Structure 1
Amino acid sequence: MSVLSAHQVSVTIDGNPIVADVDLEVSAGEVVVLVGPNGAGKSTLLSVLSGDVDPSSGHVELAGKHLGHRHARELARLRGVQLQKQGLAFGFRVHEVVRMGRSPWHRTEAAERDDVAVEDSMVRADVTELADRLFPTLSGGEQARTSFARLLAQETPVLMLDEPTAALDIRHQEQLLGVVRDVAAAGAAVVVVLHDLSLAAAYADRVCVLANGRVRADGPPAEVLTGELLTEVYGHPVDVIHHDGALLVVPVRPRPVTTLTDTSEEESSCSAV
């Protein structure tokens, strides 16, 4: 059953359509990845799904109830959000930032899990060694991992992440998305915005391709991520390569042209040696 669903959602800002007539459903245990070029409406759609932005038309349902009818604290117990930009300007330490994820459960029975949830989340996000560091002093990647730990500590049945891997190295990209898959396997519904199409192919159950605010395709990665569609949507030639059971999405680049003069210079250099 669908846990999160958008029904004919549109967002217009200053007369400009940012998202147009989007229908989307996300089920428990599923990882749905939103992809598309810059300005496609990915982050805006995620903000509407999270309840942070009101749609100009249409509506979103979370756990069977209209999103606009839920109180802020109730919403925070149902869905957690990791934004692309970190908004903490004060000198909180990493363990304090992660503990902020437990605030929706204050004065509930779930608060008994605060210490365990924080410790476990820091381990899974690989920030335990950063526990006493001040958040503003961290690198971009370290801040992203700390924000991911805070999201995990919130322990919600729906997770939404906007470009969580953008500042991460290869190891932490794979680690973070591996944890996302584990969370989904445990029953959570997950929506992730990604620019890396190969990562989307590797970790998504479904990929939703957006272009000009509209859904161009929605389905399993092998069906959606085709060279023809991606070339059209991104306005650049793209190849999709099947390698060892995985899809690799790579841009087509022009080969450098070797001129006769270049060849002569190379031969002359070799002769001189």
Structure 2
Amino acid sequence: MIEARGIHVTLGDKVVLDGVDLTVRPGELVALVGPNGAGKSTLLGVLAGDVRPGTGAVHLAGRPLASYAAREAAQQRAVQLQQQGLAFGFRVHDVVAMGRSPWHRTPRSVADEEVVAAAMVRTDVERLAERTFPTLSGGEQARTSFARALAQETPVLLLDEPTAALDIRHQEAVLGVARFVAAEGCAVVVVLHDLSLAAAYADRICILAEGRVRAVGAPREVLTEDLLGEVYQHPVRVLDHDGTPVVVPVRAAQEARC
């Protein structure tokens, strides 16, 4: 389990997170949604230990996250960042294999090649194994980074907009894998902009706005027209598709026809 309590983050003179609480349990996928600047990526950075809050604390597996050494933390949580940050010409296979570094010289290292190969298959990058990372498209880089996070085999998986550069097929595939990993017992947190994707795959959705949590709950509980219209400052319609909410914006042409 990963738990954040009373998280307050200020960057310069801007309050980015203001008293945020969030708990993610093993076996569930929680989506962080909200408008630009709501604090989604900052909250994910706090959960990862990459952003230190001014006040509040994160507990990972019952211990303060700040008490973990770097390698020990890497054995507990894997992170896929929105910006990939690899400028050197590593092969895709090598990038995915980097996910195994926390397990170097441990009994789990004997499975490195098997785990790396499986992660590449699950993310549809095995055919790119010999390509160098900088030559990949944005979507291919995102899938490679997702494979690296999977190969790390941690009980907590933190994903920052993993579908942003992907086509529809790969969006569905990535979130399908994230959903499967959660079903295997992992605690998964994913930042998403697509509210309908969040509704389709998340057990719970955390809606952030101006650094505060506006609602946390099952998709059908929190994805309401009134709340989303207020948070995003744009009217929406929430439709039901086989029991799953689908969120669509109200467009000027539609309002004129009404």
Task: Report the TM-score when normalising by structure 2.
Answer: 0.98
Question: Could you tell me how far 1:254 is from its partner in structure 2?
Answer: 1.4
**Where do 1:188-203 residues align within 5 Å?**
188-203=186-201
Aligned to 2:92: 94
* Contact kept in structure 1, 2:82 and 2:160, CA below 8 Å: yes
Counterpart of 1:232 (choices 230, 233, 236) is: 230
**Paired residue type of 1:132:** E
Alignment gaps of 5+ in structure 2: none
Higher-Rg member (1/2): 1
Question: Could you tell me how far 1:245 is from its partner in structure 2?
Answer: 2.3
**Where do 1:68-217 residues align within 5 Å?**
68-217=66-215
Question: Could you tell me how far 1:68 is from its partner in structure 2?
Answer: 0.5
In 1, Cα distance between the equivalents of 2:36 and 2:46?
18
In 1, Cα distance between the equivalents of 2:253 and 2:182?
42
SS in 2 for 1:255: helix
In 1, Cα distance between the equivalents of 2:250 and 2:208?
21
Question: Could you tell me how far 1:14 is from its partner in structure 2?
Answer: 1.0
**Paired residue type of 2:187:** A
Per-residue CA distance 1:143-188 (angstroms, 9 max, x = gap): 0000000000000000000000000000000000000011001000
SS in 1 for 2:253: coil
* Contact kept in structure 1, 2:4 and 2:57, CA below 8 Å: yes
Q: Does 2:1 match 1:7?
A: no
SS in 1 for 2:93: helix
**Paired residue type of 1:217:** A
In 1, Cα distance between the equivalents of 2:14 and 2:180?
38
Work out the number of aligned pairs and report it.
256
Per-residue CA distance 1:69-127 (angstroms, 9 max, x = gap): 11000000000000001100000000000000000000000101100100000000000
In 1, Cα distance between the equivalents of 2:148 and 2:67?
26
In 1, Cα distance between the equivalents of 2:11 and 2:147?
33
Question: Could you tell me how far 1:243 is from its partner in structure 2?
Answer: 1.8
Q: Does 2:50 match 1:30?
A: no
Aligned to 2:55: 57
Question: Could you tell me how far 1:244 is from its partner in structure 2?
Answer: 2.4
Task: Report the TM-score when normalising by structure 1.
Answer: 0.93
Which runs of at least 4 in structure 1 moved beyond 3 Å after TM superposition? none
SS in 1 for 2:231: helix
* Contact kept in structure 1, 2:95 and 2:148, CA below 8 Å: yes
Alignment gaps of 5+ in structure 1: 259-273
Question: Could you tell me how far 1:255 is from its partner in structure 2?
Answer: 1.6
**Paired residue type of 1:199:** L
SS in 1 for 2:75: helix
In 1, Cα distance between the equivalents of 2:12 and 2:146?
33
Per-residue CA distance 1:173-221 (angstroms, 9 max, x = gap): 0000000011001000000000000000000000000000000000000
CA-atom RMSD in angstroms: 1.0
SS in 1 for 2:227: helix
Question: Could you tell me how far 1:246 is from its partner in structure 2?
Answer: 2.1
* Contact kept in structure 1, 2:77 and 2:156, CA below 8 Å: yes
SS in 1 for 2:114: helix
* Contact kept in structure 1, 2:220 and 2:244, CA below 8 Å: no
